[in-house]
Amino acid sequence: MKNFDAVVSQIQKLYNTSDFIPLHQPCFKGNEKKYLEACIDSTFVSSVGKYVDQFEAILADITNTERAVAVVNGTAGIQVALRLAGVEANDEVLTQALTFVATANAISYNGAHPVFLDVDLDTMGLSPQAVSNFLEDNAELKDGDCYNKVTGRKISACLPMHTFGFSVHLDALIKVCNKWRIKIVEDAAEALGSTYKNKPLGSFGDLGVFSFNGNKITTSGGGGAIVTKDERLAEKGKYLTTTAKQPHAYEYFHNELGYNYRMPNINAALACAQLEQLNGFIREKRGLAMRYEDFFKSMGIKFRTETQNTKANYWLMCIELANKKERNAFLDYTNSKGVMTRPIWQLMFRLPMFKDCLRDSQKNAIFLEERIVNIPSSVRT
Ligand SMILES: *Cc1c(COP(=O)(O)O)cnc(C)c1O
């Protein structure tokens, strides 16, 4: 058994405390209070206001997209982004089983069926090869659309997730999806500020989605956003998430089934202050990641790092233990010492509501499920 006491000591040293160390806590050292107070003074704390507009403009800028649409949370953002990509009830959506439950839930909210395909060992995100293998074996193109020959269902979208801010192999994935005429929606909830070949994650798919939940790299308390380079899709996204109301000076007319998925202005105020600090947060986290990398190397434990041509935001940092037994021993020991650590998610097909979904072998996903553990990753102040 490795010396996990040395790990606890090192993490306590890095965070300069022997008190409880959480996995990830937000950092409010910028204009948060100033903007929140201004927002309250303006009385516009709810569904419209200048901070929502400002937040959307800043986020479009950061993500190198045409427009951002602020929404109530990341899950709602994925749900609507899938609908904008053309996903309809009874369609199939290709995604990974190694993800947070929101990814799969958002597919189901549209009445569509998740298909769980394997991840790559190096990125921990959806494997282009697994997607290609599944499509070569099961799919056919009819009138320019992709269908599953076995189920007869349309395969209308692919929803890769950039695990902990590490990019999936985008070029290869885009190539496969283009070949099969499948739209891509990036679940970039964890990946704000990460890049692939120097371009922001979230900007590669037809649409990308971010979360601003309290545990993410920047927070609005609760919130999310859809980004896209397609002005028409953004317009439709804003409309659908604001009850699909026909613009009019005073009449209420709603053209179709829309949602009240707005981000309140008071949450946007918090988010604006947070986005101003994003680059600083990433710089600090990358510094911590380097310290962790050196330390864990000396321990003979694998600290997970970004792949070639990518830059990770290191939202949640993680190590790879030798096997499930060592993983459990690590989790037990560190948590008993007040250093919070957590295993990666259980695979989606193990959950009751997704147990009958289509899936492939999941060889890599199962390997990672048994070994990956998140370690404290907050910005140090
Ligand atoms: C956080 C997260 C979401 C959902 O975001 P919420 O804002 O909590 O709804 C979706 N997908 C992944 C991978 C996430 O980590």
Residues 283-302 pLDDT 10s: 999 999 999 999 999 999 99
Condensed to tens digits (0 to 9), the pLDDT of residues 203-228 reads 999 999 999 999 999 999 999 999 99
Question: Which pLDDT does position 23 carry in this prediction?
Answer: 98
Question: Which pLDDT does position 1 carry in this prediction?
Answer: 61
Strands 199-200, 195-196: pairing is antiparallel
Q: Ligand 1: does its nearest atom lie under 6 Å from the Cβ of 159?
A: no
Of 162, 187, 207, 261, the one to substitute when testing ligand 1's pocket (max ligand atoms within 8 A of C-beta) is 187
Contacts of 137 (CB under 8 A, 6+ apart): none
Q: Ligand 1: does its nearest atom lie under 6 Å from the Cβ of 96?
A: no
Question: Which pLDDT does position 164 carry in this prediction?
Answer: 98
Task: Dump the DSSP string for 137-204.
Answer: HHEEEETTEEEETTT--BEEEEE-B-GGGPPP-HHHHHHHHHHTT-EEEEE-TT-TT-EETTEETTSS
Task: Check if the beta carbon of residue 242 is closer than 8 Å to that of residue 220.
Answer: no
Compute, in angstroms, the gap from residue 345 CA to the centroid of ligand 1: 13
Of 72, 75, 123, 210, the one to substitute when testing ligand 1's pocket (max ligand atoms within 8 A of C-beta) is 75
Question: How far apart (Å, rounded) are the C-alpha atoms in residues 126 and 298?
Answer: 30
All structural domains of the chain, each given as residue ranges with its CATH number in brackets, are 4-23+278-375 (3.90.1150.10), 32-275 (3.40.640.10)
Of 73, 100, 194, 348, the one to substitute when testing ligand 1's pocket (max ligand atoms within 8 A of C-beta) is 100
Q: Ligand 1: does its nearest atom lie under 6 Å from the Cβ of 55?
A: no
Question: How far apart (Å, rounded) are the C-alpha atoms in residues 324 and 328?
Answer: 6
Low-confidence ranges of the chain (pLDDT < 50): none
